[in-house]
Structure 1
Amino acid sequence: MLSELRSIVQAVNAAKDLQAALNIIVHRVAEVMGTEVCTVYLQDPETKRLIFMANRGLNPDLIGKISLGANEGLVGLVARREEPLNLDNAESHPNFLFLPGIGEEHYHSFLGAPIIHQRGVLGVLVVQQKDSRRFNEDEEAFLVTMSAQLAGVIAHARVTGSITADAGAPAKTAVFKGIAGAPGVAIGQAVVVVPAAELSSVPRRQIDDPEAEVERFKSALCSVRDDVRDLSSKLQGQLSSEELALFDVYLRILDDGHWVSEVINKIRLGEWAQGALSQVVLAHVNAFETMEDEYFRDRATDIKDLGRRVLGYLQADTEVESAEYPDNTILCGDELTASVLGEVPREKLVGLVSVKGSSNSHVAILARAMGIPTVMGASDLPYTQIDDANLIVDGYSGSVYYNPSPDVFEHFRVICEEDQQLNRGLESLRDLPCETLDGHRMPLWVNTGLMADVARSLDRGAEGVGLYRTEIPFLLRERFPSEEEQRQIYREQLLAFAPLPVTMRTLDIGGDKALPYFPIEEENPFLGWRGIRVTLDHPEIFLVQVRAMLKASEGLNNLRIMLPMISNVEEVDEALRLARRAYDELVEDGWDISLPPIGVMVEVPAAVSQARQLARRVDFLSVGSNDLTQYLLAVDRNNTRVADLYHAYHPAVLSSLYTVVEAAHAEGKPVGICGELAGDPGAALLLMAMGFDMLSMNDNSLLRVKAVIRSAKIADSQALLEKAMEAETSDQVRTILKAAMVDAGVERLLQPVS
């Protein structure tokens, strides 16, 4: 039944709206399973009642008119228990409820399966027959699989329908839940980012001059025709006549007046060329993919390929004109990247929404550093349909509000004002020392990667750099930067912060950071070739970088070097040997430099267990809490499916942090922390109590963390740590911290006033 299941899912994906999707489901499932009845009940989000939404075999006049509560009928039982129910004599079951007029009295066999999406019940899928028999295991397994496959499709169709109003009808307010990526509230206008030549990601957009748009489309078609003919000519002597016939097929598809006319008609109705092309091509692709004949299924690939080629020309034509970004731009897309952010003028960018990714994706980390409210992992957001829409991004709760009502708008406008007042109030702390009420000093350092970070960091009172991400200059080039280019970049950073210390991490690529000119393709990149593993395998890269750092430090002596992704002492020994070699060579060449402090990042469980042995070999330890949390909890921090399992307050994380501090201090070595946890105002109290010698964070967190520490006493923080270390869940830790911040009168630093 696998092919039938795929066929149904593809047909449902191509449906124009939720009701059409439900009608396809009941008819196709009934056909495949050979049942006389198939029905779908959907749960109303507000009333929680299960509404009779689509059916085959029962009274169609009652669709949308009858409903069941969670305690009513067999359908309510399936929803309440969240498991399938298989009966050969439904009317004899104690939960059976007779619904007059629906026509169920003739059907005795009943099989119902819950439709569950993101742990919530969306509805129930039911099949029924007149014969009194239990459905067999294969039939039950198929219906359960069908429900699981359709859950996401139904959820997406439902939210899409909530923002797709009928012609002339006002757009509705809709709320989409994601993951809080960067704190704050943004109120603005959606600008959808379109990946290059990706048909499924093209947003809908209205245009003023349809005929000009038609000409653009026809021009793109001509360009693709020329490309196909040129490619056919080039391969004339290399392919057989049968293989060359493929290009004739492509040309016939391009000359097909039917689909071309569909695109032109959509354009003349006001849709831009990219959107019209995307909608028509995807509809044809879905139609071909659901056909049983293998030849026609293969044509779907041809149509998709040609559609992408035409789209590529349309996009290239559009990109000739520089993109216009409105004031208060909220950037939206399937998977936002750091490079996309750089294209938007900073003064116009107020918020980010990404369908994929988590709070610890690099774009989210960058957004926090830039102070841009962000929601990640908004998987149900139909982002292609919200271009130019009014949005509110709630980066505190992870919610996105489409077309907010006046009451919702006013609520978040007040929060924005309060945030601005809070930030103005924090400015007065800039030149004050970061110390507790009873005199305990807690140095606050900053994480940087660009020169643009420097002025903000110093302006907000940074006392040093705990992490300078050296991979950023590598990411921004089309080749490895030379030793002299690196020296100049590093010199700028060291000069800007002198005499304050600057901790430069050696090249940390791999995982979710790949260089375009040095690709690392692995099935599991986070457990693969990354960090120190790459640079030790390529000592020429490591030596050039360390030499550049050492040269840059001449006369300043504020450099510290940090080694990433250390998992054993052999890696440290080899890296130290190479660093000393680079130092000795430069001294021989006449450079007046000192060997800087060298430390390691504790990011994997093995480094926690060997923290004391590592500390003996180096000058300092620094915890990278983002990766350490990821590896301890076995949670990919970029995977939205498991993002809710990524808890930096997890007891195992806190225990590991405490272990590292004790190990470093036992060897007389300082230990800092430079992950996102260091910039969490609540967590800062625990980290200070654990004994961390330095906290390093993005510059936007500096004053908030300072405000919390200046409101606390070290003795109270140590008592708070004891309570937190006894907690069994991250939620318990969060509750303990929130209560402590309420008592200190700084709870506003955690979240907005509700």
Structure 2
Amino acid sequence: MKERGSSQAKLDNIVKLIAQDIVAEVCSIYVLRPGDVLELFATMGLKPEAVHQTRLHVEEGIVGQVAALALPLALSDAQKHPNFAYRPETGEEIYQSLLGVPILRAGRVLGVLAVQNVTSRNYTDEEVEALETVAMLLAELFAGGEIALLEDETAGTGGGRPMRLDGLMLNEGLATGQAVPHTRGIVISQVIADDPEVERGRLITAVAEMRGAIDGLLARADIAELGEHREVLEVYRMFAEDRGWIGRIDEAILSGLTAEAAVEKIQVATRARMAKVKDPYLKERLSDLEDLGNRLLHHLLDPEGTDTQDLPEDMVLIARNLGPAELLDYDAERLRAVVLEEGSPTAHVVIMARALNIPVIGRCRDIVTSVRFGDQVVVDADNEQVLLRPNEEVQESFSSMIAERDRRQEMFAATRDLPPVTADGQRVSLNINAGLLIDIPHLHDSGADGIGLYRTEIPFMVRDTFPGVTAQTELYSRIVEQAEGKPVVFRTLDVGGDKVLPYWQGEVDENPAMGWRAIRIGLDRPAVLRQQIRALLRASEGRELRIMFPMISDVAEFDDARALLEREIERAAKKDEKLPTVVKVGLMLEVPSLVWQLPALLEKVDFLSVGSNDLFQFHFAADRGNPRLARRYDVLAPGFLKLLHSVANQAQEKDVSLSLCGDMASHPLEAMALLGCGFESLSMPAPSIAPIKTMVRSLKLDPLRDLLPSWLELPDHSLRSHLKSYAEEQRVDL
């Protein structure tokens, strides 16, 4: 491969060498091109004229199946396989058996390496492994530029034209900057070891250096303080200490590989195993393991890497996925935003980004292959969109938006200590949603009245074991103490469905939102719920405790949950444990069935909180995670507002405190509609407090409440235009 010559000549030599060594009549290399098309790039045995002419879509044919699954496939009679796709230009009809392996790098399929035999042949595990090792070397040669095949792909399939890509908001914010694609900067040039003992020594040294570097990250000033972001790195360090992982690498070295090739081999095997896993939490941990393996490769190869001084002052980091430590490799002062092709709200890298206040968009399909280094990028996380290579007019528009946002933030800062009182003198309660310790300082910075929703499940999801009563008590105590007397509403565990704890095994629900989750798990596994209640009681001793049960579908479920609470209170009293001064009990109204039981329910609860996100999707039978339905229905539809208006009226009649938490409360126009429906307490992300408070202070509430009932009878798809016109006429500051 070090010889001079064209890329085609090198590939032609490779397929000949492989065919001779594995005693096959055919050896072929297919390369993945833009559009998920596999193109035959080189062959020994098939007709030469088929090169660059034969193309298969991913999942088409056996080669396409190998690429789609990213797994090897060995067939003694390939033509009987249901995916066999005959291509007459190749002349492959005479070949009976086939072995194909994916050419993988960093979890990404670059192509397929395949061999074929005329006779029926059962390929051995050793032959499969040998071909996988060669494919690994091919991937490194592609990436290192020694075989220049992928110029058009690495340049971005979007070319130089502007593009708009949708994604999922993982951490809010608005930013512009130059694209910096995240690359490992690693090329493995030697696969076979001369001396396995020397390689084992290199591994031991590199592992020690890597662990020391991780300890250095933990000592950083912006990470040193306690919180879930630090717990993430602690778990990451535990991965680095895992003897099983190091042991598997050591075994690969003893098989004859260099230390770096052994690390890459174990990474490939891990990806293959994880591809079969359905548990979303475990899938998210793959990015942590990828990060760890890449970090070990850096210590083994000691590459110069990317000089951060050469990176732009305003960086937008682009990656398929990131581990938590990889994010910390970049200068946070210059990092404006992160865009991921994968990712989820509970991914460890997202928790780190929240701690550093960096906007993040995830699940942004095709971002990696569409962007080039230095491309101008606009990241609008609030509206879940990424703009690549926008024209000057768009750039200027977003720059103005950011400047206006900064100006408004300065104006909002002046409202922090002002009360949220309407222009006609009515007090509204504005609270924040929280789920991590790093959220608590925002309670005071924003001037919020309290925490209207504390999601207790998030700390459970960043751990690798279930926290016991002592650990939970310590966590809840810190939250209560840091709240400094402001009320905190603790929602009991809302896990299950798509929020899976790593230490719980269970079946994956076909419809997670309506599956075995939240209070359904709590009542089916009462020991778990009782332990959490016990910890909350202990953490709130001498103070008020507000506890809220999620996903209640009927009054009987609430009665059962409250009975568990009463048992824990009785237990604590018998043991002479200090109790909260007051325990207020409520629930989240998320399931429409409960609306019809409100008269009976309101006799039993101390407060009620509407979970607008789930209630909205159940009301319209529209999965809010489905992009085709994301904007089909509007929360400002008259039917949905009428439901909320009815709930508010019934709660007011029974003198039950009512609030709403969810996306609906975080936007000024929607919040104005909620106040018009009769809500007097809203809970939202901390950055929304100031704009909502500004709206509240400019609104005369009584006229809106008099007018709104007539609009609720309209057959319109949405009342958005009516509400906007009203706000303009009444000079409400939106």
Q: TM-score under structure 2 normalisation?
A: 0.61
Q: Does the aligned pair in 1 maintain the 2:39–2:53 contact within 8 Å?
A: no
| Aligned position for 2:435 | 449
Equivalent residue for 1:575?
Answer: 561
Give the Å deviation of 1:191: 5.0
Identity %: 32
Structure 1 counterpart of 2:687? 700
Is this contact kept in 2: 1:176–1:381, CA < 8 A? no
Secondary structure at the residue paired with 1:504? strand
Task: Tell me by how many angstroms 1:722 deviates.
Answer: 3.5
Tell me, in whole angstroms, the C-alpha distance in 2 between the residues paired with 1:538 and 1:698.
31
Q: Aligned residue for 2:658?
A: 671
Taking structure 1 as reference, are residues 408 and 691 closer, same or farther at Cα in structure 2, changes over 3 Å only?
A: closer
Paired AA for residue 317 in structure 1:
L
Counterpart of 1:476 (choices 462, 473, 482) is: 462
5 Å-filtered alignment, 1:15-414, equals 164=155, 172-178=160-166, 181=169, 184-191=173-180, 213-215=187-189, 316-318=296-298, 328-334=314-320, 349-355=335-341, 373=359, 375=361, 378-383=364-369, 385-386=371-372, 389-395=375-381, 398-414=384-400
The CA deviation at 1:464 is: 1.2
Residue 480 of structure 2 contacts residue 488 of structure 2 at CA under 8 Å; is this kept in 1?
yes
1:381-404, Cα deviation, whole Å (9 max, x unpaired): 344754664421134654423244
User: What TM-score, normalized to structure 1?
Assistant: 0.59
CA–CA distance in structure 1, aligned partners of residues 181 and 599 of structure 2? 49
Distance in 2 between the 1:726 and 1:628 partners?
A: 20
Identify if the C-alpha distance between structure 1 residues 608 and 174 changes in structure 2 by more than 3 Å, giving closer, same or farther: same
* Corresponding residue for residue 38 of structure 1: none
Structure 1, unmatched stretches of 5+, are 1-6, 18-22, 33-159, 194-202, 227-250, 257-263, 265-272, 283-308, 750-754
Contact between 1:189 and 1:389, CA under 8 Å: does it hold in 2? yes
Aligned in 2, Cα 1:648/1:369: closer, same or farther, shift over 3 Å? Answer: farther
CA distance in 1, matches of 2:653, 2:711: 23
Q: How far off its partner does 1:214 sit? A: 3.7
Are the counterparts in 2 of residues 369 and 699 from structure 1 also a CA contact under 8 Å? no
Specify the SS of the correspondent of 1:477: coil
Name the residue aligned to 2:515. Answer: 528
Q: Which amino acid aligns with 1:489?
A: L
Say which of 585, 601, 606 aligns to 1:619: 606
> Which of residues 693, 712, 735 in structure 1 aligns to 2:721?
735
Q: How many residues in Structure 1 have an aligned counterpart in Structure 2?
A: 523
- Whole-angstrom distance in 2 between the partners of 1:687 and 1:369: 31
Paired with 2:290 and 2:538, the residues of 1 have a C-alpha distance of 51
CA distance in 2, matches of 1:177, 1:163: 18
Q: Which amino acid aligns with 2:634?
A: H
Residues 3-58 of structure 1 show CA distances to partners (whole Å, capped at 9, x for unaligned) of xxxx9x999622579xxxxx989999xxx9xxxxxxxxxxxxxxxxxxxxxxxxxx
CA distance in 1, matches of 2:443, 2:713: 36
| Residues 321, 340 of structure 2: 8 Å contact kept | yes
Partner of 2:636: 649
CA contact (8 A) 1:163 1:173 kept: no
Query: Residues of 2 paired with 1:598 and 1:702: CA distance?
Result: 25
**Is the CA contact (8 Å cut-off) linking 1:358 and 1:637 kept in structure 2?**
no
Give the distance between the partners of 2:534 and 2:365, measured in 1 at CA: 45
Give the Å deviation of 1:344: 7.3
CA 1:311–1:657: 2 relative to 1, 3 Å: closer
Shift in Å at residue 634 of structure 1?
2.5
Which position in structure 1 is the counterpart of 2:491? Answer: 505
Task: Indicate yes or no: 2:409 matched with 1:435.
Answer: no
Which residue of 396, 400, 404 corresponds with 1:418? 404
Supply the AA of the counterpart residue of 1:14: V
Aligned to 2:451: 465
Distance 1:378 1:540 in 2: 40
The residue matched to 1:638 in structure 2 has which SS? coil
Which segment is superposed worse, 614-623 or 420-429? 614-623
Kindly tell me: are residues 515 and 340 of structure 1, through their superposed partners in 2, closer, same or farther at Cα, counting changes over 3 Å? Answer: farther
Q: 1:644 to 1:388 in 2, by over 3 A?
A: same
Question: Which residue is 2:547 aligned to?
Answer: 561
Distance of 2:306 and 2:492 partners within structure 1: 36
Which residue of 603, 611, 623 corresponds with 1:636?
623
Residue type at the aligned position of 2:614? D
Maintained 8 Å contact 1:361/1:637: no
**CA distance in 2 between partners of 1:485 and 1:26 (Å):** 57
Alignment of 1:708-723 (within 5 A): 708-719=695-706, 721-722=708-709
TM-aligned CA deviation for residue 171 of structure 1 = 6.1
SS of equivalent to 1:662: helix
The Cα of 1:514 is off from its aligned counterpart by 1.1
Is the partner of 2:337 in helix, strand or coil?
A: strand
1:219/1:384 CA distance change after superposition, 3 Å: farther
Comparing 430-439 with 351-360, greater Cα deviation is found at: 351-360
| CA distance, structure 1, for counterparts of residue 196 and residue 290 of structure 2 | 9
Q: CA RMSD in A?
A: 4.9
| 1:630/1:636 contact within 8 Å kept | yes
Tell me the distance in 2 between the aligned counterparts of 1:745 and 1:464.
28
Deviation at 1:470, TM superposition (A): 0.9
